[in-house]
A and B are shown apart, each in its own frame.
Chain A
């Protein structure tokens, strides 16, 4: 990977990695540090990492850094501070979207990561498995469980509002 290719990776993937980490860690500074570290690692290993796999490499490094950070800070249960940063990543001002964000907050980090990698980044089950070190079938099962939770939550809320 050349200097130019690395800088293109910064242009193309830094926002996605930052958004993914910010959504889970809910702390801007932590998210910045993790992204910076991930790109530093990419730079150090630029001769080993192919340009086409740079995105997957960045998400993999960032995901594991985030998990380590959460373990250190015992922030595995994420509930509160998401609302503060949620304004930056809301999909609109509709009530339904707010309910959806609340439902996502109740997911565990693994389910949340699966949803984000799939919906935000559009990764396949196989790619998600590589990033999160899970098998393809595990990704499918965990992701479907998360989607069912969200679907049931939305159905319940819609019934309540109706």
Chain B
């Protein structure tokens, strides 16, 4: 029931239109009892808002028409899709990074070892050449040729290179002109008497190449070492044929390289690695791999 203590609540409910007919009548009767209630009710009435005339702008965009629902046929849509190969995403995890670094390091080491191995034949050839140089020459008649042949290591190498050139030259010539073989032989005999190193080399080459051409150019590939050996043997033959002089066979000796030597080093780029460093690197790699394995197990 409305009274002095709750009349404001009733007034507000009256303004909010939340009272039934009986309650509304009771409030209207209560207002008339005293002027202050009427003034209070008037203030509440004034505090009530009245809706202004506001229109929504761009209302046209809110409407929906059947035409707007038009859509493409799903099968036709599928035809428009671009077919792309599935993209493989590689997650570059720390473990993968470590593994890739380890593989790269091993690859570099492998290349280094290959380079290290490739150095050894050169050393052997040097030893052979030095033996040739140091071999004594007994016969005086061979001094001239020997002096020309092996005064220095460089000359030998130059002669060997010339010999290989001559081999290739004669190969082509022999292929085309098989009939001129005898002439070449004669030339070689004549030329061998000149005791010049170059002529000797060419004679030897021509002889060997003529023999090879007789065998239908089979096994024509001759190494530089063989050429040098033939240089000595064929020169002996030619000399013997002309002047019956003996040229000693130069013995070839091979020296073993001690791969277990402690102070041997390999160079990878600017980095020089000796045995101790290499062992340290391998130890670290093995420790890293072990640690990765433990982490994976965890």
Contacts and interface: CB of A to CB of B under 8 A. Distances in A.
B200 to A, nearest CB: 99
A122 B50 CA distance: 10
Contacts, number: 86
Interface string A104-128: 1000000000011011111011000
B32 to A, nearest CB: 20
Interface in B48-90: 48-52, 54-59, 61-66
Contacts of B66: 3
Interface residues of A, number: 44
A100 B49 contact: yes
Nearest to A43: B64
Interface stretch (B10-18, B122-130, B189-197, B264-272): B10-18
Interface string A69-107: 000000000000000000011110000100010011000
A19 B53 CA distance: 9
Contacts of B49: 91, 100, 104, 115-116, 119-120
B50 A154 contact: no
Contact count band on B: 20 to 34
Interface stretch (B39-47, B211-219, B226-234, B252-260): B39-47
Interface in A104-162: 104, 115-116, 118-122, 124-125, 140, 143-144, 147-148, 150-151, 154-155, 158
Contacts of A6: 64
Contacts of A121: 51
A35 B51 CA distance: 18
Of B13, B54, B57, which is in contact with the most chain A CB atoms at under 10 Å from its CB? B54
9 closest A-B pairs by CB: A119-B49, A150-B47, A18-B56, A89-B52, A19-B54, A120-B51, A14-B56, A10-B62, A39-B62
